[in-house]
Amino acid sequence: MSLETERLILRRWQDSDAEDLYKYASDPDVGPIAGWPVHKNVQESLGVIRYVFCGAEAYAVCLKQDNKAIGAIELKLNGNTDLTERDDECELGYWIGKPFWGQGLIPEAAKELIRHAFQDLGMRKVWCGYYDGNEKSRRVQEKCGFKYQWTTKDLYLPLMSEHRTGHVSCITKEEYESR
């Protein structure tokens, strides 16, 4: 399955995306701010495609012009998120390669996935979070209509072996429909 926006294709990850994933996920400005370590090689990126980006609603963010993966976006369904235990709620996660920052591509992709969550999947609420210092992620959430819910200090991030402060927001189906 794939979804489209004006400039993007959101499609399932493929093994052939490993080199493109590595190109952006090896940048120290991308993963660590989102809570995951830089990729060390293409094999590691391939493993992430096969074992992390394998959720039912995990998509490669691709420009329509070449269909190459430049980022990732996912609706984490119940069982794959610690923000909700409900089957009619999910968590949105995303990132994009540094050369594509500031172009409005992730808000564009996120708005399509939020639409998909409410209209196609029957969700009633979409959750999203970011860590202190990740202002770009906070701004994406604001642009998409998310409303702040809570802050948690001293969150342990096992992939980074460190503690951080996390902020959580959400958007309800009613809020989405009234926008």
Confidence band for 1, pLDDT divided at 50, 70 and 90: confident
Answer whether residue 150 shows pLDDT above 90: yes
pTM here is 0.96
DSSP the chain: -EEE-SSEEEE---GGGHHHHHHHHT-TTTHHHHTSPPP-SHHHHHHHHHHTTTSTTEEEEEETTT--EEEEEEEE-TTS-SS---TTEEEEEEEE-GGGTTSSHHHHHHHHHHHIIIIIS--SEEEEEEETT-HHHHHHHHHTT-EEEEEEEEEEETTTTEEEEEEEEEEEHHHHHH-
pLDDT at residue 47, rounded to an integer? 98
pLDDT at residue 42, rounded to an integer? 98
Mean pLDDT of all residues belonging to the chain: 97
Answer whether residue 113 shows pLDDT above 90: yes
46-104: pLDDT as tens digits: 999 999 999 999 999 999 999 999 999 999 998 889 899 999 999 999 999 999 999 99
